[in-house]
Structure 1
């Protein structure tokens, strides 16, 4: 079975929940070696994975980890189709992508039964999906320039304010809906409560977007563009990825994050079917869910640790910049909803992105 385009279309969308694979990997994993190959991302993200997860894991187990800053999904899926071992053992992707691969028989289940029982009791159930282990979360939040709005009392404070061009005129920074759509935010601005968001009213979301479209200079595919627009003064208010904006705020950038109404979304590790080092991959995932490793990772990358027992190990200043700080009023992206059938042979994610290409660009 070749890797279809649908696999790659979901790269920017988080998804979760159980899937029914076309074939289940029931055979024993390969004997493996004293090695492990992990494919993830570079930059600050890769630095955090290396220092908080990989180096301590190598020191404790003696397993040599090869870290790749990019994933070759096509090569791995082609190898599995050919009955060969994929070039990577673990991949770091959004839950939707894990589920899509799993539905095609490309992933093996995570063996939570072999993990440390104390750690497993600490990790929330939603993070322990069959084919992907959530190890942390990022958020998309509203941010504003403190240069443009130096007085917090009169600054924008909600998604309602974000869409209120009369009260807060000027340009807005928004990410592209072609890879990671955010229809939740126009719905919140239109009066829908966080607890009533799903199932999303897509027609209502697109209608609300029309009210602001002319004030969006660019629907940015790269989230770095949005924080740069704020710093450069091209926009005064923007939606920002927490993993990009929190480090800037920590360094003193003139940006204020509004956590109220931010959307949490997950990052997962999955294991390829036929992975040479599948046993070591399971050991690695078990290791990185410990509170100590989670805290070390969160402190570097300023993302939400999935194990809440990591929070007491961090300073108050760091916790304040994490999406899942106790006083942040955020909501969890409904990963499963995006993968539900929307009719016409498309799921909700595909329906939104195709419509966005026509209506938002």
Structure 2
């Protein structure tokens, strides 16, 4: 299963074709030091089942959130590494295997259309007031806990000491020579915004996207694109093997490469943000425990602890003050970088993703 650090665009594809659903994979209780994050009390439930995407991100969640939560509350966290299509099919069949769902806010909107989520009682998530989340990240059915940024990455040894500053530079194959890689819609949304930014559209005037104009700009770079990546590690591999000099990438995927000494860096000008959130499955068996884990996860201390374990960008602005300077400076959500990027317009993409992805696939085939 291909995982992004925080979410995938293909989560809901193929739900109707699911014939069998896997069982939960249990996650043991933790021994990590707990924080002072408040947790609601009064539940008799001793287990909560949560969906996340597994991999290194799943291990970080276990270390930073699940194990400390178990130690503090006595509630065992069971983890299901299911994709969204599986979770949705389970809920539609009236037998959800998870209580709390870790999901992109965009895919959460798709779940809402399927009546697959519980309407939240926000009074039971008391740490929301402490976290001071932006209002647009709190909805009736899901609340953001973090975001990931899709941006430009490049080899620092490729351009005689120069570094690309904008998407226009990404498109400039004369000044910044070498192959390119861009995202396949199986991994994330088509990168129309980057094309429009390269063509001079101001960042605050991107939406509604001018699709025709974006594809004309994409035409200018198509011959230089050596690979369309469909998994999180692939852009880093292409850079490491010097198959390309520049690529789009999920920003969090660069941290390990830098630690390994690979000469790569990110350019966060024009980065596209997509938010990840929590939602509760319709018919959740352990509703009280789900609210307790939901509440616990929203506290700024807990969000900061996750960011120290994995390059995840907390949605709480207060969390960044609790992260070491070294780690904070490597996050796309750090104060010095935040205004350089923009939020993906979920409403626009919900209406247009299918048509744009179909057109993109035809375009990529030439």
TM-score bracket relative to the smaller structure: 0.7 to 0.9
Change (3 A) 1:78 1:146: closer
What is the aligned counterpart of 1:276 among 285, 301, 304? Answer: 285
The equivalent of 2:261 in structure 1 is: 252
What is the aligned counterpart of 2:53 among 36, 41, 50? Answer: 41
**What is the rounded CA distance, in whole Å, between the counterparts of 1:72 and 1:190 in structure 2?**
35
Deviates more, 1:289-298 or 1:117-126: 117-126
Q: RMSD value over aligned CA atoms?
A: 2.1
8 Å CA contact retained: 2:151, 2:248: yes
The equivalent of 1:14 in structure 2 is: none
What is the aligned counterpart of 2:341 among 299, 307, 330? Answer: 330
What is the aligned counterpart of 1:88 among 98, 101, 106? Answer: 98
The equivalent of 1:127 in structure 2 is: 137
> Shift of residue 79 of structure 1?
4.4
Count of aligned pairs between the two proteins: 326
The equivalent of 1:24 in structure 2 is: none
Change (3 A) 1:359 1:288: same
What is the aligned counterpart of 1:291 among 297, 300, 306? Answer: 300
Change (3 A) 1:172 1:270: same
The equivalent of 1:312 in structure 2 is: 321
Unaligned runs of 5+ in 1: 1-5, 12-30, 340-346
> Shift of residue 10 of structure 1?
10
The equivalent of 1:354 in structure 2 is: 358
Change (3 A) 1:121 1:87: closer
The equivalent of 1:166 in structure 2 is: 174
> Shift of residue 78 of structure 1?
4.3
Deviates more, 1:246-255 or 1:165-174: 246-255
8 Å CA contact retained: 1:172, 1:217: yes
- 1:55 paired to 2:98: no
Unaligned runs of 5+ in 2: 1-9, 16-42
8 Å CA contact retained: 1:79, 1:85: yes
- 1:8 paired to 2:18: no
**What is the rounded CA distance, in whole Å, between the counterparts of 2:101 and 2:342 in structure 1?**
26
**What is the rounded CA distance, in whole Å, between the counterparts of 1:277 and 1:201 in structure 2?**
45
> Shift of residue 231 of structure 1?
1.0
Name the TM-score, length of structure 2 as normaliser. Answer: 0.84
The equivalent of 1:192 in structure 2 is: 201
Change (3 A) 1:317 1:78: closer
Change (3 A) 1:55 1:117: closer
For residues 122-175 of structure 1, the C-alpha deviation after alignment (integer angstroms, 9 at most, x for no partner) is 111122122122111110111110121351xx2222100000112222210111
What is the aligned counterpart of 2:155 among 125, 139, 145? Answer: 145
The equivalent of 1:300 in structure 2 is: 309
The 3-state SS of whatever aligns with 2:110 is helix
